[in-house]
Structure 1
Amino acid sequence: MAKAILTQDVEGLGGRGEVVDVAPGYLRNYLVPRRLAQVATPALIAEAERRREAAERARREAQQRAEETAALLRRTVLTIPHAAGDDGRLFGSVTAKEIVDAIREARGVKIDRRKVRLEEPIRTTGTHMVTVEVAEGVTAQVKTIVTPES
């Protein structure tokens, strides 16, 4: 068996950066010519390990930043003025873009408007809980108060 470092994901074999054992002919005749892998030397194995550790460290740091941002957003109360009638019904509705703009103004945090989860559009004045996805698997409930414009 020959050792190879995969340069791309190969179905049934492994993911990019993994060190795998393969038949020498498979490595020489299929993986290397298609640039799917390279022959593993001790130096390349060490470099692949360093790269994998750096990627893991970056992923952990990004997850930690997302958790901190979510904690900040959970403590945030947004006030959004919107045109409304006397009965408290809005003329139109509060959109995800308005919520994102209010978050940016209140906390200076940039969030993609597609990450704001509204079960249904906000069409009345009052207090509403809005779910914001900060990162993969990290969400925050943001208290949003919609007030009539004066």
Structure 2
Amino acid sequence: MEVILQKDVHNLGVIGQVINVSAGYARNYLIPKKLAIEATPKNLALMKKQEALIKAAQEKAKKEYADMALRMEKISFTFSRKAGENDRLFGSVTNADIAEALKSEGFEIDKKKIMLDEPIKSLGIFKVPVKLHPEITAQLKVWVVKDEPATKKEHQPQQEAGEESGSSPSSGDSVVE
């Protein structure tokens, strides 16, 4: 079934594009969510009339996304996580975490546009692609560091208490100085 996209749909196409999809996908998903309309002769004629407006809107959006990509690439994000041996994280840094960090910097980005193959589970510096537009991808710089400041604060009172009572920290505690 041929449909005309009313909005950009990830991995499918951009607004105004006529595409061929299965009838069930069109009837049950694209059309009810107002992502597409059926490609009837009447709708195709309407799209031809609106084509200039659509192209202008696409160019404007592309320019805005390019500007946004430049601003995003100037920022680096640091995530502080607890890590165990061999610098493996307890937990991970996910695309939802990165989307939340972007939101705190004023960027409204859907977590689905952050192209992490799998969550980050080790310490280090990572380049994370963010697909803003089918033709524009920003590269975010993400630092994942060991959660040391919180560790120091947690262990300092234990160390002071240990010095006062004459005992040493238990073998399970690591004192960071």
Q: TM-score, normalised by structure 1?
A: 0.64
Q: Percent identity?
A: 28
User: 2:168 — aligned with what?
Assistant: none
- After TM superposition, give the deviation of residue 52 of structure 1 in Å: 2.2
Deviation at 1:116, TM superposition (A): 1.1
**Residue type of the partner of 1:139?**
T
Q: Shift of residue 86 of structure 1?
A: 5.2
1:117 aligns to what SS in structure 2?
coil
Deviation at 1:137, TM superposition (A): 2.0
The total of aligned residue pairs comes to 112
Offset at residue 143 of structure 1 (A): 0.5
Q: Deviations over 1:42-78 (max 9, x none)?
A: xx99xx64x3221111111011111111111111100
Query: Which ranges of 4 or more aligned residues in structure 1 deviate by more than 6 Å?
Result: none
Q: Which amino acid aligns with 1:102?
A: A
Pair 1:139 & 2:137 matched: yes
Distance 1:123 1:36 in 2: 49
* Distance in structure 2 (CA, Å) of the matches to 1:91 and 1:36: 54
CA RMSD of aligned residues (A): 2.7
Aligned to 1:109: 107
User: Which of the two has greater helix per residue?
Assistant: 2
Answer 1 or 2: which has greater strand percent.
1
Instruction: Point out which structure has higher relative CO (alpha carbons under 8 A, 6+ apart).
Output: 1
**Partner residue, 2:124:** 126
Partner of 1:97: 96
**TM-score, with length taken from structure 2:** 0.55
